[in-house]
Amino acid sequence: MDVMNKGYAPFHDPTLPDVVMPSCPIEKKLRGQTALVTGASSGIGKGIAIGLGHAGADVVVNYISGEDEALAIVEEVKRCGAKGYAHRADVSSEDDVQAMFARLQDEFGGIDILVNNAGLQQDAAFEEMTLAQWNKVIGVNLTGQFLCSREAVRAFKRRGVREGVSCSAGKILCISSVHDVIPWAGHVNYAASKGGVSLMMKSIAQEVAPWRIRVNAISPGAIRTPINMAAWSTQEAYQELMKLVPYKRIGETDDIARAAVWLASDDSDYITGATLYVDGGMTLYPGFETGG
Ligand code: BGC
């Protein structure tokens, strides 16, 4: 387990449990702030929800499936002294998203941090990709981020900057992917959605900056979660994957959570419209490690 936590293992046994976050850090940089993390019942969203809770934020754990997991994450947030609840909503539905933000307003009086994390893959060879597969992925990964960001911006503007809580009126983090710049054969819908997230994020950032609202993205590389289990759950697959990762280890959800806490905190106050690649160098053209 120690090796797992350090993340140096050359190969990850899928039967081992998820990496456990370090117990609640003393420094509660996000105390007094409310965060909504979409798609937070598993994978990267789960790691971010726990990380924000450990940093002192109250956390709304949005999920579409995995209610028990979502409730367990809320318990972990509460264990660290913050508040939270789980809320089921489909981020691609305008009605669901508006109801989710209305409840947030009632229960917490507003929102400080939105993490647009909900995302999925529906892979197919391009000529076999159905319109349903295309629409589903664009609907959740891109339209979902649009709908949640729009509600968050409305809420941030209503409340403005709160002295003593944060320098900004609100922060949005868009969870994108290295595939917002790396083309991905067999995943055209997914790469298109993430490329869309990238310029949507920058355009929103430009528009809302005068209201002291910051909008940034994190683009993860290969992170050990259920979405890409096929890429790390056997020794052979893991070795293939490492050809694409100069840092020679798979990422853990904690790697993303730490970046998210930083981008949500005032430590990154002058940063907006930026994309942080948390990918062990996957975007460094690993094919050029030799040759060229
Ligand atoms: C995808 C994963 C993939 C990773 C690196 C992510 O955005 O969801 O399936 O392993 O990119 O290619």
* Every domain of the chain and the residues it spans: 28-278
pLDDT > 50? residue 8? no
> What's the pLDDT band for 120 if we cut at 50, 70, 90?
very high
Index of the ligand 1 atom closest to the CA of residue 119: 8
- Which pLDDT belongs to residue 27? 81
Average pLDDT of the segment spanning 50-62: 98
CA–centroid distance, 175 to ligand 1, in Å, is: 12
Q: What share of the chain in percent tops pLDDT 90?
A: 89
User: Which regions of 32-132 does DSSP assign to beta strands (E)?
Assistant: 34-37, 58-63, 84-88, 113-116
pLDDT > 50? residue 272? yes
Six-digit token pair at 150? Answer: 């729009």
CA–centroid distance, 131 to ligand 1, in Å, is: 22
Question: CA-CA distance, 220 to 175, in Å (whole number)?
Answer: 8
Question: CA-CA distance, 175 to 95, in Å (whole number)?
Answer: 22
- Which pLDDT belongs to residue 223? 98
pLDDT digits (tens, 9 = 90+) for 155-194: 999 999 999 999 999 999 999 999 999 999 999 999 999 9
As for ligand 1, residues whose beta carbon falls within 6 Å of it are: 121, 177-179, 221-222, 227-228, 231
Q: What share of the chain in percent tops pLDDT 70?
A: 91
Say if residues 186 and 124 touch (Cβ distance below 8 Å). Answer: yes
Check 190, 247, 277, 285 and give the catalytic one: 190
182, 188, 223, 255: residue to mutate for ligand 1 pocket, most atoms within 8 A of CB = 223
pLDDT > 90? residue 21? no
pLDDT digits (tens, 9 = 90+) for 87-96: 999 999 999 9
What angle is formed at CA 88 by the lines to CA 83 and CA 92, rounded to 5 degrees? 125
The secondary structure element, H or E, covering residue 180 is: none
Minimal CA–CA distance to 262: which of 83, 51, 46, 80? Answer: 51
Average pLDDT along the chain: 93
Index of the ligand 1 atom closest to the CA of residue 227: 9
Q: Distances in Å between the alpha carbon of 118 and those of 80, 86, 173, 216?
A: 24, 14, 12, 16
CA–centroid distance, 69 to ligand 1, in Å, is: 22
Residue with tokens 């350090």: 6
- Which pLDDT belongs to residue 16? 52
Query: Ligand 1: which residue has its CA nearest to atom 5?
Result: 222
Q: How many helices (H) and strands (E) does the chain have?
A: 9, 7
pLDDT > 90? residue 153? yes
Say if residues 278 and 221 touch (Cβ distance below 8 Å). Answer: yes
Active site residue 190: yes
> 28-278, superfamily in CATH?
NAD(P)-binding Rossmann-like Domain (3.40.50.720)
pLDDT > 70? residue 20? no
pLDDT > 80? residue 147? yes
- Which pLDDT belongs to residue 32? 97
Task: For residue 174, give the 3-state DSSP assignment.
Answer: strand
CA–centroid distance, 228 to ligand 1, in Å, is: 6
Q: Where is average pLDDT lowest: 22-36, 62-76, 254-268?
A: 22-36
- Which pLDDT belongs to residue 271? 98
Residue type, 185: A
Index of the ligand 1 atom closest to the CA of residue 231: 10
- Which pLDDT belongs to residue 53? 97
- Which pLDDT belongs to residue 2? 36
Question: CA-CA distance, 249 to 252, in Å (whole number)?
Answer: 9
Q: Give just the sign of the alpha carbon dihedral 264, 20, 78, 225.
A: positive
